[in-house]
Structure 1
Amino acid sequence: MTLMSLTAEPACPESIPDLTTSPQPATRLVIERRSIDDIPRAAWDRLAGTAPWATPFSAWAFHRAWWDAYGANAHDETTVVLDPARGPGADPVAILPLMHRHEVEATDEERHTTLRHGHETELTPVPPTATAIFFGASYHADYATILAAPDDLDAVAEALVADLRRRSARPDDWDVVDLRRLRCGDPVVDALAAAFRAVEINAGWTLNLEREDVCPVAALPVGGTIDDFLATLDKKERHEVRRKVRRAESAGEVSLDVSATPLADVEAFIDLHQARWGDDGLFPDTMGGAQSRVFFRRLFELFEADGPLRLSFLTIGARRVAAGVTFETPDRLFYYNAGVDPAARDLSPGVVLVERYLRRAIAAGMGSMDFLRGDEPYKYEWGAVDEPIQRLLVRRTLA
């Protein structure tokens, strides 16, 4: 049965869950497990281009980099959906970037492979030993979706659910489907929920759709200036930003520059990140830190030079005081990771870094700067507003 509390906060604002069963399309598609190794980059990215809610986290390069770095932590369950009517050798109708593993592994803390969620959010518990199907790269991707054209989503979801039902005849195949990082408004959520809801009673499954976390996003004045943006902030915050930026500018020329040689410069980024975060950072002297180094290096190797991935350094008076890794698309800047020099604390490098990124995004005509997962207070000082992300959970038996 579908579990929804009438008093619980909905997964998405202004959403009223439809608990009725909708008619499903006749199954005409075929599910096939296919390693990411066997899916051409062009075919993957072409399908991502048909999915309106896909982000750079859906790109082949992101998933390839993740598997190259963290492949020992999970089992590849990448799934393609085929239409027999298109004939043998035709491109897939959809790609579902999936993996499976236990909900919790003993090595998760050391390897930074814990699925963190909003600290004030209580998610439906799942036994740590449960064999779970997740979206691939869930630990390091802030958004996830199915790669398919909108018109194909209902049939794709139905084919996936039918395949999972066949597999459930094997008691050790899977225990839960635990899909995270789903954005509000993504039609993938409605398609999956409808397909699971249509069979859950007969199959003895339980479906939950719940808020997982938030991604604070700052709206930008398209065609405006940084002053137009700062005018939208509270008077106190606006004053503090301007004061800190002026202080940095008085210490020397302030510049945020994209690295022309990110592979050569990635170690400098790592040094700044670790200087700020230490053992809590991504790159400590552990197995997980080594995997994170591989991941970031592979990201910069695999994303093309004219793609969305950027490594930038903030300099004040020719001194590097901060660095950031972003994904930049025509309409949004995704603020993925950063590091600052603690010795430059008096110059407020973190504030100046964000201010310069905002200038860049506004100058490029972007409509928003996305601070991605987590409700850290500094994000709201920039006027960011929460955009929730959802979790779709299916359990084979009521716990």
Structure 2
Amino acid sequence: MRPELVTEDAGLAALRGEWEALWRRASAVPGGATPFASPAWLLPWWGAFGTGMPRVAVAREGGRLLGVLPLYLLDEGGARKLLPMGVGITDYHDALLDPSAPEGLAGALLAAVLEGAARDGAALCDLPDLPPGAALRDAAPPLGWREEGWVGEPCPVLHLPGEELRGAVPSGTPGVPSGTLRKLRMSRHRAERAGGWSAHLATAEEVLPFWEALVGMHRARWTRRGEEGGVLADPRVLAFHREALPLLFEAGVLRLWALRIGGELAAVYHAMAAGPDRLMFYLSGFDEARAFESPGTILLGHVAEAALAEGRRELHFLRGGEAYKYAWGAADRMNAGRRLLPPE
């Protein structure tokens, strides 16, 4: 099969239904596609950040969509380059492939984009944040293209046990230090003495109100630390999330949890389910006035238990080596990056 290129916004919008169906097939298998590859994530990103020209490779066989590689062409500083849609706020990038896709399809999709990029005068193609196992890590570029690589950011992952929960914590969770489990028990006891605690998963009507609460807590915390608004300072980031969150909820992957202590909102956690086996922690906010009860610890413990109850075996903390991730026993997995340069 020979991939085709989608180069206009209208064609991108027309692809949505097929793309959604492909993503559902690809994400249904263990270790399959993540929400970062879904149109529910990438099309809102394009609406908020897309200042270039789509260069999306698609492959079909018998009328069935088997592969999508969503890149775009950006003019920056007098030079043109190719980047993945979602770049900047997306922790894992890859081509989206049907489980039945033939071997080498990722390379064919990449070649289709790069051959077009050469005609467009692109100086390079950057592919950052490729996780272990990504098809694009090994996809061969067209003949004559040169490559440079780099080690990306750590993405710590916590492995969960296979047994049922016992008591208030994940009993025997491999890798979770006993000190962290003691802290979780202590935090829960403190919250009980402060009026009790409860964790609640957002309904469709609660998604945006919970999100706004997360934004307020996150921005207040980072502003007090001297970083105005933190990662939510950019209005485009806020616009993206406000559009994407309801779509992610409809897709069945959003896990937006809220914690209340003494009846008052104390923390919100934005997580996403990735197939049947993984949960990805994306962003959180908590009320620093409740620091004594450690609401972030309480909510993270509860979400880990909920993930186990769903049969999930990995918690992905995504990019960054923050200390709290390792306190839970997570171990690094390294993203990688590739820079592809056209023939001289």
Would you call these one fold, judging by a TM-score over 0.5? Answer: yes
List runs of 5+ in structure 2 lacking aligned partners: none
Does 1:139 pair with 2:139? Answer: no
What is the 5 A alignment of 1:124-163?
Answer: 130-149=79-98, 151-158=101-108, 160-161=110-111
Distance 1:340 1:209, change over 3 A: same
Does 1:371 pair with 2:317? Answer: yes
The equivalent residue for 1:328 is: 273
The equivalent residue for 1:217 is: 157
The equivalent residue for 2:114 is: 164
What amino acid is aligned across from residue 20 of structure 2 in structure 1?
A: D
What SS is found at the alignment partner of 1:303? helix
What SS is found at the alignment partner of 1:208? strand
The equivalent residue for 2:211 is: 266
Could you list the per-position Cα deviations for residues 349-372 of structure 1 after superposition, in whole angstroms to 9, with x for gaps in the alignment? Answer: 221221111121122221111111
What SS is found at the alignment partner of 1:328? strand
What SS is found at the alignment partner of 2:311? coil
Q: Take 1:298 and 1:166, find their aligned partners in 2: how far apart are those partners?
A: 31
Distance 1:145 1:53, change over 3 A: farther
Q: Do the aligned partners of 2:146 and 2:343 also contact (CA within 8 Å) in 1?
A: yes
**Offset of 1:230 from its aligned partner?**
5.2
What amino acid is aligned across from residue 220 of structure 1 in structure 2?
A: L
Distance 1:137 1:215, change over 3 A: same
Does 1:80 pair with 2:58? Answer: yes
What SS is found at the alignment partner of 1:366? coil
* Aligned equivalent of 1:238, options 181, 200, 214: 181
Could you list the per-position Cα deviations for residues 87-108 of structure 1 after superposition, in whole angstroms to 9, with x for gaps in the alignment? Answer: xxx3443211112225xx6xxx
Could you list the per-position Cα deviations for residues 25-48 of structure 1 after superposition, in whole angstroms to 9, with x for gaps in the alignment? Answer: xxx414222436433433102222
Of all paired residues, the percent bearing the same amino acid is 28
**Offset of 1:232 from its aligned partner?**
4.1
What is the 5 A alignment of 1:204-353?
Answer: 205-225=145-165, 226-229=169-172, 232-260=175-203, 261=205, 262-278=207-223, 279-284=228-233, 288=234, 290-305=235-250, 307-329=252-274, 330-353=276-299
Q: Take 1:79 and 1:60, find their aligned partners in 2: how far apart are those partners?
A: 14
What amino acid is aligned across from residue 233 of structure 1 in structure 2?
A: V
Distance 1:167 1:75, change over 3 A: closer
Q: Take 1:232 and 1:163, find their aligned partners in 2: how far apart are those partners?
A: 42
**Offset of 1:80 from its aligned partner?**
1.9
List runs of 5+ in structure 1 lacking aligned partners: 1-27, 106-127
**Offset of 1:306 from its aligned partner?**
5.9
Does 1:46 pair with 2:21? Answer: yes
What is the 5 A alignment of 1:192-207?
Answer: 192=139, 195-196=140-141, 199=143, 203=144, 205-207=145-147
What amino acid is aligned across from residue 67 of structure 1 in structure 2?
A: W
Distance 1:186 1:174, change over 3 A: same
**Offset of 1:187 from its aligned partner?**
3.4
Distance 1:158 1:41, change over 3 A: closer
Q: Take 1:147 and 1:69, find their aligned partners in 2: how far apart are those partners?
A: 21
Q: Take 1:305 and 1:69, find their aligned partners in 2: how far apart are those partners?
A: 20
Could you list the per-position Cα deviations for residues 320-370 of structure 1 after superposition, in whole angstroms to 9, with x for gaps in the alignment? Answer: 111111102432111111111111112112212211111211222211111
Q: Take 2:279 and 2:173, find their aligned partners in 1: how far apart are those partners?
A: 17
What amino acid is aligned across from residue 281 of structure 1 in structure 2?
A: G
Distance 1:66 1:156, change over 3 A: same
Corresponding pairs, count: 327
The equivalent residue for 1:55 is: 34
Distance 1:153 1:137, change over 3 A: farther
**Offset of 1:189 from its aligned partner?**
2.2
**Offset of 1:271 from its aligned partner?**
1.1
Q: Take 1:230 and 1:163, find their aligned partners in 2: how far apart are those partners?
A: 44
What SS is found at the alignment partner of 1:221? coil
- Runs of 4 or more, structure 1, over 6 Å off, are none
Larger radius of gyration: 1
* Aligned equivalent of 2:66, options 76, 86, 93: 93
**Offset of 1:177 from its aligned partner?**
1.1
The equivalent residue for 1:183 is: 131
TM normalised by structure 2 equals 0.85
What SS is found at the alignment partner of 1:385? coil
What SS is found at the alignment partner of 2:260? strand
Q: Take 2:186 and 2:216, find their aligned partners in 1: how far apart are those partners?
A: 28
The equivalent residue for 1:174 is: 122
**Offset of 1:163 from its aligned partner?**
5.4
What SS is found at the alignment partner of 1:93? strand
Distance 1:396 1:345, change over 3 A: same
Q: Take 1:358 and 1:155, find their aligned partners in 2: how far apart are those partners?
A: 36
**Backbone CA RMSD of aligned residues:** 2.5
Q: Do the aligned partners of 2:187 and 2:298 also contact (CA within 8 Å) in 1?
A: yes
The equivalent residue for 1:14 is: none
Q: Do the aligned partners of 2:48 and 2:239 also contact (CA within 8 Å) in 1?
A: yes
TM normalised by structure 1 equals 0.74
Distance 1:233 1:267, change over 3 A: closer
Distance 1:165 1:370, change over 3 A: same
Q: Do the aligned partners of 2:159 and 2:174 also contact (CA within 8 Å) in 1?
A: no
